[in-house]
Amino acid sequence: MANWEDDLPTEAAALRGVPFFEGLTPEDLERLARIGHRRVFAAGEPMVSKDEIGGGLFIILTGSATVETGGKMHGLGPGQFFGEMALLAGKPRSATVTAAEPVEAMTLQTMYFRPFLIKNPSVAVTILEVVAERLREVQDRIDRGQTATDSEA
């Protein structure tokens, strides 16, 4: 008999491969997939631009992207997400994120994803953990008085 994962709609099956959604039930995955949209970006294309208004979370399904922030370039690959800062703070985008190669991403709009987070605290906690790590990495460099130029020298 077929595994239930084989019966998942394509969108939900794509999300099943994302580590931070691994604890979700098939029903939650399908709910998430229904509110998500798959988008494709060409290499070099901005996926979000600094100061742009409008939240929404992006989850990279395939390909990779770069974000320059705090004086350093960060790489984001399959299974990683971005866009949580504007989504959570209700502020413009803090940085530009650019596709480093062709990227396929799932986008989740704030108005649908916020209520989803409230119903799925484990996903909210995972996002918090990643935000704390990102903040810590930038903070550590500030404390060391180090810029990207210093670290490359």
The answer to whether 48 contacts ligand CMP (rule: CB under 6 A) is: yes
The answer to whether 67 contacts ligand CMP (rule: CB under 6 A) is: yes
Q: Give the binding range for ligand CMP (CB under 6 A) out of 35-43, 66-74, 115-123, 144-152.
A: 66-74
Site residues for ligand CMP, 94-113, by CB under 6 A, read: 94-95, 97
Q: Shortest Cβ distance from residue 135 to ligand CMP (Å)? A: 8
Q: Distance of alpha carbon 126 from its chain centroid, rounded? A: 11
Residue 124 CA: distances (Å) to CA of 78, 88, 109, 128: 19, 10, 15, 6
CB of 7 or CB of 137, closer to ligand CMP: 137
Q: What is the DSSP letter of 94?
A: S
- Choose, by CB under 6 A, the member of 18, 32, 86, 108 that binds ligand CMP: 86
Q: Give the binding range for ligand CMP (CB under 6 A) out of 11-19, 29-37, 79-87, 119-127.
A: 79-87
Where b means 16+ CB within 10 Å and e means fewer, 60-77 reads bbebbbebebbebebebe
Q: Shortest Cβ distance from residue 52 to ligand CMP (Å)? A: 8
Q: Please tell me the distance from the alpha carbon of residue 73 to that of residue 71, in angstroms, as a whole number.
A: 7
Q: What is the DSSP letter of 4?
A: G
Query: Which among 15, 35, 18 has a CA at the least distance from the CA of 78?
Result: 18
